[in-house]
Structure 1
Amino acid sequence: MNKIRVRVANWQKDIADLRRIREAVFINEQQVPPELEWDSDDADAVHFLAYEGDYAIGTARLLLDGHIGRVSVLKDWRGLKVGDALMNAAVSEAEKRGLKQQMLSAQVHASAFYERLGFNIVSEEFLEAGIPHVDMVRDS
């Protein structure tokens, strides 16, 4: 296994990898309707791609207001700290941009992962795309 690396992606140039990963995780695995997965925020967001070697295996995005989302790792690479690497990159980029607070809507089953990274639950549970979520916040 190669070392996992994360880089800032370009929405136009890297769209094939970004779409392949998000479609596999959200649309195929979790049955999120495509019209809910793709939105106008993608064009302005800072996107991240995680790689093992030359193969893209995970993605995340940072919106200009500090919201982190679309964190996704292909099934075969889960449990290998790919999500940690993506989140660390997104938080680091947010801080570099002066965004002192990072926010996200976490699937409830993943909330402990985000808590380990310094996020705190700030909402009651709610459904998004039919999946239980909570809002979470991290202050730098």
Structure 2
Amino acid sequence: MNSVQVRIADWQQDNAELRRIREAVFIAEQAVPPEQEWDADDNEAVHFLALEGDYPIGTARLLADGQIGRVAVLRDWRGMNVGDALMRAVLAEAERRGLTEQTLTAQVHATAFYERLGFEVVSDEFLEAGIPHVDMLRRSH
């Protein structure tokens, strides 16, 4: 595997790739209804693309209030630290923007991954799109 690079994406220019990854992971794999996947926040968010060579394999977004979401890595690249590289880039950008608290809504099976990055669970479990989730918070030091 080549080294994975993460860059800030442009919602307009990179739209097809961002949509392809999120549709594969959330809509096709996890059966999230399309109307829940796409929202007005996409226009305002800072988007990230993880690439192996020139091929986009993961994405995430950061909102102005420090909320991180839509973290997705294509199935064939999971377990290869792509999510880790993606999240480290998002957290670095959040801190660069002075966002001292970052929040996210995590699927319960992924909480250990986010805990390794400094997040802690701050809610009870709840269902979102039929999938168990928890809210998580990270404070920058």
Inter-partner Cα distance in structure 2 for 1:9 and 1:71: 14
- 1:107 alignment partner AA: Q
Q: Per-residue displacement from partner, 1:37-71 (whole Å, max 9, x unpaired)?
A: 00000000000000000000000000000000000
Structure 2 equivalent of residue 3 of structure 1: 3
Q: Per-residue displacement from partner, 1:101-130 (whole Å, max 9, x unpaired)?
A: 000000000000000110000000001111
- 1:12 alignment partner AA: Q
Inter-partner Cα distance in structure 2 for 1:131 and 1:15: 26
Structure 1 equivalent of residue 114 of structure 2: 114
Q: Per-residue displacement from partner, 1:78-122 (whole Å, max 9, x unpaired)?
A: 000000011001110000000000000000000000001100000
Q: What number of residue pairs does the alignment pair up?
A: 140
Q: Which aligned segments of 4 or more residues in structure 1 are displaced greater than 3 angstroms?
A: none
Inter-partner Cα distance in structure 2 for 1:5 and 1:19: 19
Inter-partner Cα distance in structure 1 for 2:97 and 2:136: 20
Inter-partner Cα distance in structure 1 for 2:68 and 2:84: 13
Query: SS of the residue aligned with 2:57?
Result: strand
Structure 2 equivalent of residue 61 of structure 1: 61
Inter-partner Cα distance in structure 2 for 1:121 and 1:34: 27
Which consecutive residues of structure 2, in runs of 5 or more, have no partner in the other structure?
Answer: none
- 1:23 alignment partner AA: E
Query: SS of the residue aligned with 1:65?
Result: coil
Correspondences of 1:1-140 after superposition (within 5 Å): 1-140=1-140
- 2:58 alignment partner AA: G
Inter-partner Cα distance in structure 1 for 2:93 and 2:128: 26
Inter-partner Cα distance in structure 1 for 2:87 and 2:116: 11
Which consecutive residues of structure 1, in runs of 5 or more, have no partner in the other structure?
Answer: none
Q: TM-score, normalised by structure 1?
A: 0.99
- 2:45 alignment partner AA: A
What is the RMSD computed on CA atoms of the aligned residues?
Answer: 0.3
